[in-house]
Structure 1
């Protein structure tokens, strides 16, 4: 259907693709670390999450032209589709963060570590 879509249909499909891609990936990249990681690690977690997202974008942008030349654009789009489905599945495997206080969980983990390993400072 890639070559059969009209310009308007292509723009609509592409816009929907971008909306849902950003809706899912950006939420996972920027919102999830804020909900999951303790305050002490939030900046680092956001930085690592954003860096991985940007690295993926750079790799896919570089690979898109190379793959398009070798296997064709429709096949590359199917590969991206598979990556999107894999990302959606992995996102669904993430634990629910609602009602959990990451700072409290971190304090409990530190206390348990102190009990198991003596009074070691972390």
Structure 2
């Protein structure tokens, strides 16, 4: 996974993949790793989706590791579901919508609510 981390950092630095800027910093968030899970985070654009698909194909070619498309989902935040449908093709994964659970935490609901942080929802 270190190889994928290096590829994503290089892609971000070269403007190939646009992450999400963290306010009041010079940091742009593009991916998170936890064990064998990866979460890609980026600006909503055709360029980002297409380039992420290319990065993942290159990663597969050099490492032999492949994304499990049965476990992968594409989400659009503040994006119409119809638009998400139009961009999922290059990634070959399923569509989903907010909220969703990631590592036992509900994501995409009002995160200020205590119930959002409870794992048994």
Greater RCO, CA 8 A, separation 6+: 1
Same fold (TM over 0.5): no
TM-score, normalised on structure 2? 0.24
Q: Which has the higher strand share?
A: 2
TM-score, normalised on structure 1? 0.24
